[in-house]
Structure 1
Amino acid sequence: MWGAMTSVEEKMLPHIALLGGGIFVRSQYIPRLKEISQTVVLRVIWSRSEESAKAAAELAHEFSPNVEYKWGDAGLNDIIQDSSIHGVLIVLTAQVQVDISLRMLRAGKHVLQEKPAASSLSEAENAMLFYHSLHANFPHRPIWAVAENYRFEPAFVESQRLAKEVGDMMSVQVIVESSMNSSNPYFSSSWRRNFAGGFILDMGVHFVAGLRMIVGYEVTSISAISRHVDTSLPPPDNVCAVFQLENGCGGVLVLSVSTRSPKISWRVVGSKGSVETERGIRNGQHGYTVTYSPAGEPPQCSFYPFCGVNEELKAFVQDISQANLKDGEAYEPDPRGTYLEGARDVALVEAMLESGLKNGELFHVKKL
């Protein structure tokens, strides 16, 4: 028996495996899965080592007392071959996530993979070609989602709505002054230091996801200057870019991962007003303040606590449930989570980094 549910109720729910036992699994995934434990059955937690898998499983015992833990290649193969596992959450290093995602998809399992969607645009494009080829093996392709929680934050949903109210778009500003240093638990993670783009790619996909969602248009071209200031971080750690949207509007993106005074905001200025989304803390809660300033009227402010990880997990579980009910018929998952959206984030960040390597040469963002 799983928790307070009957065995019949459990069989009706999606059964999932969680791959990974690192910081984000322990601090975010397991607590968030606890919050939605009445809608999904966590069957297995896997990690490369037995110690890591066991430690993560122990954290989940409170809400999933029968959760198993597996490790290594044998454990991964067990999950692949277990047809009763409907979906997999993949929270591993960027270098291996795509390969393991494709192995799970080939086995017919739905996948929610952590960002970035890939470590390069070419990897993402090859992965999508393989994914689309799965039509030959399944009546309907399994769901492949990327865990880009910014697209599920209510603040960005509201900002997207308000951006349509500011009239003709005149300018866009994205300011990211982050402070990645030795006090941050992710500072020492080796995988972020061992692939092109480092923290700029790993963190940057978040901020361009927020940009793309709020404005509702794709970035078509970008020119960037990059620098390496903090030598304790992989290069580059600072990028300043000018970009153009497909609607003709221009914008600026300042991305620094090594500042001492954190500030993160997105601002859209239009002919009828502006909307700004700024990260911060209110009453001890981390979240976003959305400020809508219609022309000639007082600003309207609303605060939205962080809840994107919870919302994206709920959406993925709901998508699996609906896909199971369709029993092979066509089903369209939540468009915010699709792998294509994650790949588009990578395409934009990669174009920005390439421009930085060539001293600001204008790069066109590949249209996917």
Structure 2
Amino acid sequence: MAPLGVAILGGGIFAREEHKPAVDASPDLDLKAVWSRSSKSAKTLEVDESKVNVYAEDAGTGKSLDDLLARSDIHAVIIALPIKNQPEYIRKAINAGKHVLSEKPIAENMQDAEALLTWYRTEVDTKKVTWAVAENFRYLASFNKGAEQVKDMGKQLTFRCRNQRMVTGGKYFETEWRKNPTHQGGFLLDGGVHDTAGLRLLMGKDNPLLSLSAHSAQLQPHLPPVDTIEAVAKAKNGAVGTISLSFGTTQKGRVWAVGCEKGYVSVSGSTVTAGDKTWEIEDEKTGVPPEVRAWGKALVAGTPDPMQAPEEAMADFELIEAALRSGEQGGKAIQLRHQEW
């Protein structure tokens, strides 16, 4: 079967450095076009314009997004746009009959996320057109190795998700929509969903989190509206643990761990530890290449990859929003509604 024609919507760093190379390397996908709001932005993807068409709002007649979506040789699109813009373009592409892989988070707030997911599950013929949400942490070999070990360690007793560091710049932070966010949580929301996705993957679907209480703070003036969350959560089986996220502290460390009856499992970088055993796991870059390959394979097979289900992205996102809402209310306990599906 010939590869499926794909377009990338968005001209940002992640689209250029992650999505485009991943599509090029996928045996099931063929990059046909790119689009961004400006030609200048679209051209930053550095495509071979003899093979890949460039579309933009200022590109002239026949080069609009509607023109791109009208092409019968483009079967699917990857959407990598600012968080607040994603739902509009997801709906537009699906209504045009294109399969969608949209970047995380699922939306900028739970209200929009729930509305989008309800629309997709009730109004769209999902046998003909599908929506997947990207989360590259689910395709990191280190996390999958850790999750396998947790399954063999008996009852979960405690858990921990910790990502603490100081964000003062860098190519991702320097984008305007991240420096001056209109979405809740700012950089904490954008980056934090990776951390909650990692914790959920490690703990597995049989023991989801059910409630959460948190305090939040803005420690650095350049990281509005908040840059730090300290949360305590309780899982279905009664296990309790913490989610500690800060992009504005001098503390440093990043680890995901689950304490079980038979031992302690942790993932930190490429190191996976389970009891007295330790492995150095080689991840494939950031996890995006296997993620995009899995998406292409699923499209060809006609069977969506469950790790890319929008419900998974909803659950990742809910933990961050619940922590933000709890923090605004002085640590009030929030009941989680989307961890089991």
Name the residue aligned to 1:289. Answer: 271
- Asked if structure 2 preserves the Cα contact closer than 8 Å seen for 1:88 and 1:110, the reply is yes
Please give the alpha-carbon distance, in whole angstroms, between the structure 2 residues aligned to 1:52 and 1:131: 30
- Asked if structure 1 preserves the Cα contact closer than 8 Å seen for 2:24 and 2:30, the reply is no
Quote the offset at 1:141 in angstroms: 4.3
Which of 97, 115, 123 matches 1:126?
115
Matching of residue 206 in structure 1 with residue 194 in structure 2:
yes
Name the residue aligned to 1:187. Answer: 173
- Asked if structure 1 preserves the Cα contact closer than 8 Å seen for 2:16 and 2:44, the reply is no
- Post-superposition CA distance 1:260-300 (Å, at most 9, x none): 45321101111101110002xxxxxxxx211111xxxx332
Which of 218, 225, 228 matches 1:235?
225
Please give the alpha-carbon distance, in whole angstroms, between the structure 2 residues aligned to 1:213 and 1:69: 37
Name the residue aligned to 1:329. Answer: none
Matching of residue 300 in structure 1 with residue 278 in structure 2:
yes
Name the residue aligned to 1:116. Answer: 105
Amino acid at match of 1:212: R
Please give the alpha-carbon distance, in whole angstroms, between the structure 2 residues aligned to 1:141 and 1:246: 35
TM-score, normalization: structure 2? 0.92
Please give the alpha-carbon distance, in whole angstroms, between the structure 2 residues aligned to 1:26 and 1:13: 21
Matching of residue 309 in structure 1 with residue 288 in structure 2:
yes
Quote the offset at 1:34 in angstroms: 2.8
- Asked if structure 2 preserves the Cα contact closer than 8 Å seen for 1:106 and 1:134, the reply is no
Name the residue aligned to 1:215. Answer: 203
- Structure 1: which 4+ aligned runs deviate by more than 3 Å? none
- 5+ residue gaps, structure 2, are none
Quote the offset at 1:303 in angstroms: 2.2
Q: Secondary structure of 2:72's match? A: coil
Q: Call closer, same or farther: CA 1:139–1:365 in 2, change over 3 Å.
A: closer
- Asked if structure 1 preserves the Cα contact closer than 8 Å seen for 2:155 and 2:260, the reply is yes
- Post-superposition CA distance 1:223-258 (Å, at most 9, x none): 001111111111211111100111211111110012
For the aligned residues, what is the CA RMSD?
1.7
Which of 11, 35, 43 matches 1:21?
11
- Post-superposition CA distance 1:65-115 (Å, at most 9, x none): 500100018521012212221100001000111110111111111100001
Identity, in percent, stands at: 33
Please give the alpha-carbon distance, in whole angstroms, between the structure 1 residues aligned to 2:47 and 2:23: 9
Matching of residue 53 in structure 1 with residue 42 in structure 2:
yes
- 5+ residue gaps, structure 1, are 1-8, 280-287, 324-331
Quote the offset at 1:319 in angstroms: 1.3
Matching of residue 354 in structure 1 with residue 333 in structure 2:
no
Name the residue aligned to 1:5. Answer: none
Q: Call closer, same or farther: CA 1:266–1:139 in 2, change over 3 Å.
A: closer
Quote the offset at 1:188 in angstroms: 2.5
Matching of residue 266 in structure 1 with residue 229 in structure 2:
no
Total equivalences in the alignment: 330
- Asked if structure 2 preserves the Cα contact closer than 8 Å seen for 1:86 and 1:320, the reply is no
Please give the alpha-carbon distance, in whole angstroms, between the structure 2 residues aligned to 1:301 and 1:194: 41
- Asked if structure 2 preserves the Cα contact closer than 8 Å seen for 1:289 and 1:304, the reply is no
Amino acid at match of 2:153: V
Please give the alpha-carbon distance, in whole angstroms, between the structure 2 residues aligned to 1:129 and 1:361: 28
- Asked if structure 2 preserves the Cα contact closer than 8 Å seen for 1:113 and 1:146, the reply is yes
Please give the alpha-carbon distance, in whole angstroms, between the structure 1 residues aligned to 2:126 and 2:110: 28
- Asked if structure 1 preserves the Cα contact closer than 8 Å seen for 2:211 and 2:235, the reply is yes
Matching of residue 226 in structure 1 with residue 224 in structure 2:
no
Please give the alpha-carbon distance, in whole angstroms, between the structure 1 residues aligned to 2:102 and 2:126: 22
- Asked if structure 2 preserves the Cα contact closer than 8 Å seen for 1:134 and 1:141, the reply is no
TM-score, normalization: structure 1? 0.86
Quote the offset at 1:35 in angstroms: 2.4
Please give the alpha-carbon distance, in whole angstroms, between the structure 2 residues aligned to 1:226 and 1:208: 16
After superposition, where does 1:53-132 map in structure 2 within 5 Å?
A: 53-56=42-45, 59-61=46-48, 65-72=50-57, 75-132=64-121
After superposition, where does 1:4-19 map in structure 2 within 5 Å?
A: 12-19=2-9
Q: Call closer, same or farther: CA 1:140–1:35 in 2, change over 3 Å.
A: closer
